[in-house]
Amino acid sequence: MSTTIAAVVAGTLDDEGRARLADLFDEHHPLLYRLALRMARNPEEARDLLQETFLRAGRSLRTLPSGDEAIPFLIRILTNLCRDQHRRLVVRTAFHSIVSRTRSEDPREQLIASATVHSVIDQLPPRQKMIVILHELEERSLVEIAVLLGVRPPTARWHLFEARRKLAVALEPRAQEKKP
């Protein structure tokens, strides 16, 4: 089992739960990794998806089916994660589109655009600000961020979603001003 997964679930599962999760990981991770690799853009994202799949499975171990019925459950988790990732990519693309529209050859305009984005980020609540910085600038995965901040990955994901929403709302009027 991945050390990140083991570290996160260590305090939440008893020995039997950890053993069951480890068995599920050993049995199903090759298939789930292949699926994640086909869905993701690169091996690193596939590993992140695989980790998050088993983290979620560990949190819902009581409702996780046994035997052959576990794999459809795990595939559903992976599918939902891929769908969430796609949504985030759409938001990130829109964000970068807004920022790129403000770019020009004039270094002063680039500095103004950068300062504008940073000033909007500075207005975010501290946790959302930290998550945006770790995820967007430091390129950390949500699982890593959750471990670093001592929160669950869905909580980190929610804060990132809210931060992006606030950034989009705050930057949209500024992007409209720059349109020719």
- The tens digit of pLDDT for each residue in 113-125 reads 778 778 888 888 8
Residue 7 has pLDDT above 70, yes or no: no
DSSP string spanning the chain?
Answer: --HHHHHHHTTTS-HHHHHHHHHHHHHHHHHHHHHHHHHSSSHHHHHHHHHHHHHHHHHTTTTSPPGGGHHHHHHHHHHHHHHHHHHHHHHHHHHHHHHHHT--S-HHHHHHHHHHHHHHHHTS-HHHHHHHIIIIIS---HHHHHHHHTS-HHHHHHHHHHHHHHHHHHHHHHHHHH--
Assess contact for 142 and 135: CB atoms under 8 A. yes
Q: How many CB atoms lie within 10 A of CB 53?
A: 28
pLDDT reading at 56 higher than 80: yes
Joined together, the tokens standing for residue 177 give: 């001003």
Look at 43-47, 89-93, 101-105, 110-114 and tell me which has the smallest mean pLDDT: 101-105
Residues 63-102 have pLDDT tens digits of: 888 777 888 889 989 988 888 877 777 777 766 766 666 5
Predicted local confidence at residue 15, as pLDDT? 80
pLDDT band at 111 (very low <50, low <70, confident <90, very high): confident
The band of 158, judged by pLDDT with boundaries at 50, 70 and 90, is very high
Residue 39 burial (10 A CB sphere; 0-12, 13-18, 19+) = middle
